[in-house]
Structure 1
Amino acid sequence: MRVKRYVVDTMPEAMLQIRNDLGSDAVILSTKETKLGGFLGMFKKKKIEVIAAVEADEQANTATKQRQAQAPAPQKAAVPQKAVPQAYKKTAELTLAATGAKVSADQAQPEAAPARPEPRGAEMTSVQAGQFVTQTAGYGESAAANETPPSNVTFPLSERGQITGGLRRSEQPQPAEDREPEARNSVEAKLLEELQEMKAWMAKISRQSMMKQQLPAVLEKLQERLIQQEVDFDLIEEWITSSFDHWEESGRTLGDAELFAHVRSQVLAFLSERFGGGIANRTRIVYVAGPTGVGKTTTIAKLAAEQLLRFHRKVGLITSDTYRISAVDQLRTYASILNVPLEVVQSPGDMQRAFQRLQDCDIILMDTAGRNYRNELLVSELQSLFSAITDHSETYLVLSLTSKSQDMKKITEHFSKYGLDKVVFTKLDETGSCGSVFNLIREYPLYLSYMTNGQNVPEDLLLPDSKKLCGMLLGEEAP
């Protein structure tokens, strides 16, 4: 037996090639869809893979060659109507012979009665094939009269399904086939989405390339400054692109001063929406959390001094930092200087007793032990302490500006599970970069509340000033 594989766009094209190569006695063994070509897994073209076979006896070969010699040369523009039905009819007859059904010459004629319905089951394939022969017999009467279906041909049921599956879709419900259009639509939708994203990305790259060539000197200088300040690229692009568009809309008549002012106005507008002020008047309890070594205890002392000396509120202190050596002694020293009560707790039960002892205070500030933010168990211990009292409370996250921006984001991600409200940035005097401030408050719903720039209590506790912070970012003034 001679077996040959074809990869084509359509079934009529496959039928034409099979008829020309193997003759009209050829049998289709299987058909399936496949995808070829493409770039990086995309843009693949759908093809149909067809496996056909013919008995390789000398008489069949001689007859095939004679028919091919007599037949005119095939034309790509048109597919003969007889080619497809005859090949299908031949395959259907072989399938009927394999299942024990007898296909007579009368059944190939248009006048033949349609096949009687049989019970649904494993032999549904033969019924469908017989129906298809009856419906398509009119396309090739003369060819059907000269052809005799081969006998004693046996196909496994799995191959029978492949043979007839590509010939005609069953009229009976077939869930597997019903799902094919949905899967195809899903793939096409995903491909369309990827193409749209690629188009937007290419447009963005093209625009950036154009801007890089035409960017005014002042905007180019500001862009380099923002990169040095470690501002996220998306935020830099937003500000610089907006200023570049403003410059083009003006006919490129704006000077350096106007462009600088435009960038500055965007930075100020960004900060105006993210300032949270200090501790609210209605707040009764302030929880202070953060990683190790950021200056939480000193910040607690500064906050206590501010509330006591500036707002004349009665202050109480609580600490749960019993892990670090001398941590309690450090806060006790500050409490003694400020003449405020201090309670030490180690469990949620201690928290309730401490709150009862400090119930006469206007505001209670609670210091917590520094935690390795990578250890989820240690960080989760804070939740049991924070949940003791939640009414009229605020939770502050303390971060050091000497930390890397990416580390700050990871720390915030871990602690944000326990309900953060505001953020305090420390050690402003120890760094010349403040870009991480903008990155953090842009990505997380935290309000910038305080900044510290030294060890002095309470002088070095600052409410954020948008103009000063903007000046630090753009290089107008030193920290």
Structure 2
Amino acid sequence: MKVKKYTGETMQDVIFQVKADLGPEAVIVNKRKFKKGGLFGFFGREMFEVVAALEAKSADSIAELSDSKGEEADDIVEISNYGRNSKKIERTKIQKTASKDPENKNAIKEFITDLKTAADSAAEKKNRKDQLDKEEIKVGLSEKSNKQQSNHHKNSQQYEENQQQNNKKQDFNNRQKVEPQKVENEESQLTAAQKLQNKFQNKSSGSSDQSKKLNNSNQLYNYLLDQGVDSRNVNLFLKQMDSQIDGDDSDFENQLKEFLAVYFADNGEINLTADQKIISFIGPTGVGKTTTMAKIAAHFAVDKNKKVGLITADTYRIAAVEQLQTYSKIIDIPFAVCYSSSRLEEMIRGQFRNCDLILIDTPGSSWKDQLQLGRLKGYVDHSFVDQVHLLLSLNTKSSDLRSIVSKFSELEPDRVLLTKLDETSSYGDIINIKENYNLPLSYLTFGQDVPEDLEAATADQIYKYLFGDFYA
């Protein structure tokens, strides 16, 4: 049996150390809380200590245990409650299970037999009732058939005409039911990106209706308001657009495309140079940081053949470490857990020194909790972190998005990464974020597939989301 002692400032940190070292099958033998430092027991720092054990499962260890205890191991059983109130009792006093007690086993067999007998009896009664119902139906059909035959010669012509009409109606109804069902089944197998592309293609095929297009600034103004863009930001957007294009609205679509290319010129994905690049991801809880990191890691490791490393500091969320570790094994890239921001730079300079790109997953924080936001400062230190990407879910209310960006601005994010574009139909906050904070966008995500549901936040991609219903 492997027994080790762990200490930490919080019980959660200690538990994660145990799981990371001994694995999920480790058992907590003892735990205590004590104070470290201080003066005469006062002003000390509260610490937690855990003694954990991992039971050896090999055949040799079992044999050694049996030899050391001798006959006593056969007669005496020690019942342990993780180090509390342990006691030894005779094996003969332990209640036997059904598998070791013939009497209990026979009783269970009799009980199962009674159940089967009752079920067979009920099934037999049901079969007899079904048989009687079938005979009554046959008799009724026979009588009905006789009546129809007696009147057949009188109404044969009318009957044939009605039958033909009914067949035509039935064929039409069947076609109406089958075709939508077939289309629905095909669409259910598509990814979010394919569905979006089909949506744009369908709109394009029916774009002959000129009334559905945006033909001037007045129509664009009303449309952006409907998309959730603040009226102030709509005026700023149109003012910039009018200053860069001429007043001719004959080719309004191309003018809008050209302006967006300038408006979102600072957007773009992570650009790797000859030097190592370190990217840290921050954002509120549930925004999708871990999945997005896996998408970006797979994109650079698989598609671009770069050396990528993953570091997670999210030791607060259950299974966050296991999730990112699973992705790292699938992609075959190095992975590590950082329990303290003070060790982050040392870890990067050590085991990740040969990586082209290092992605750091930070704990999700509530934008209302200043203490949680303060803990993230060590993971976004611009002295060794090249870029900080703030992740925002586009299905969040506009008022909450403003508060989130305002609070997280204390960590000095360099770019914004938008997630869950497939879970909303309003994309006006893309312009709100640009106008209010002037933060460039890096990526757009629109599903759970790794790495497919990830696109660089180029002007063309944003154009499809904002105006795809009209021009795509």
TM-score normalised to the size of structure 1? 0.49
Q: Could you say which structure has the greater relative contact order, defined with CA pairs below 8 angstroms and 6 or more residues apart?
A: 2
TM-score normalised to the size of structure 2? 0.50
